[in-house]
Amino acid sequence: MILHVFPPSPRALKVLAVANHLKLNYETRIVDLFKGDQLKPEYAALNPNQRMPVLEDDGFVLWESNAILFYLAVKSGDRTMWPADLKGQADVLRWMTWEAAHWTPACIPLAFERVVKGMAGKGGPDEAIVEKALPEFHRCAGVLNGHLKGRTWLTGADLTIADFAVGSAMAMAVPAQYPMAGYDEITRWYGALAALPAWKKSLVAPPPA
Ligand SMILES: N[C@@H](CCC(=O)N[C@@H](CS)C(=O)NCC(=O)O)C(=O)O
């Protein structure tokens, strides 16, 4: 199995962390987004969106990070990371959809302006963009924080791929200075996720195969 990733990115982190948590064997290919690797014809042939990550498994090519998490979980045979029952599956899918549609888009302006721009040599943050993004950040953080009350993980007692999906955006919380005051449940939950050996391992860029 090959994972095409750019490890500083949260979307690479979630894919690597799930693969590592499930102890799957994989090789990595680094897609250096700052150098424009995603625009090269050979990469665009894998993902016409010219975005990272991409999974290749025995000729099967899959893009969209949350679809990759699903593939990894089912391939591993784990019955809690992707639950066995319909309601459990729908619950996980709900949070993964929410992550892609609401949570990550709410976090991206903060992460991009305060972290990614500097790493990419694109100058300093535009705080006006951050200010404009804050109401949506707080709306989403309020939803997540409220839901986590009384739950160990997002969907209850079991860690699932939804935790990895939603948690990935939190990797930028400190450097991007997310305003976390009052969101103690998110802080508690993300602390447990970030303490997983697989999460720690995935934060370190893997060497290219
Ligand atoms: N919905 C996609 C989003 C993928 C995406 O936007 N990836 C970003 C990095 S986090 C990317 O490759 N950007 C390259 C570019 O914009 O040129 C997924 O979850 O895989």
Q: Chunked in runs of 10, what are the mean pLDDT values of the chain (209 residues)?
A: 94 98 97 96 98 98 98 96 97 98 98 93 94 98 98 98 98 96 98 97 64
pLDDT computed for residue 37 by the predictor: 97
Can you tell me which atom of ligand 1 is nearest the CA of 10?
A: 10
Backbone phi, psi, residue 11, to 5°: -70, -25
pLDDT computed for residue 207 by the predictor: 40
CB 126 within 8 A of CB 167: no
Cβ pair 3, 16 in contact under 8 A:
yes
Q: Ligand 1 centre from 174 Cα, in Å?
A: 21
pLDDT at 205: 57
Read off the pTM.
0.96
Q: Ligand 1: which residues within 6 Å by Cβ?
A: 9, 11, 33, 38, 50-53, 64-65, 100
What is residue 204's predicted lDDT score, i.e. its pLDDT?
75
Ligand 1 pocket test, pick from 51, 55, 64, 117 with the greatest ligand atom count within 8 Å of Cβ, gives 51
End-to-end CA distance of the chain: 11
185, HSE (Cβ side, Cα atoms, 13 Å):
14
Ligand 1 centre to CA of 64 (Å) is: 8
Quickly count: other Cβ atoms within 10 Å of residue 194's Cβ.
15
**What separation in Å is there between the alpha carbon of 12 and the centre of ligand 1?**
9
Residue 149 CA, ligand 1 centroid: distance in Å = 31
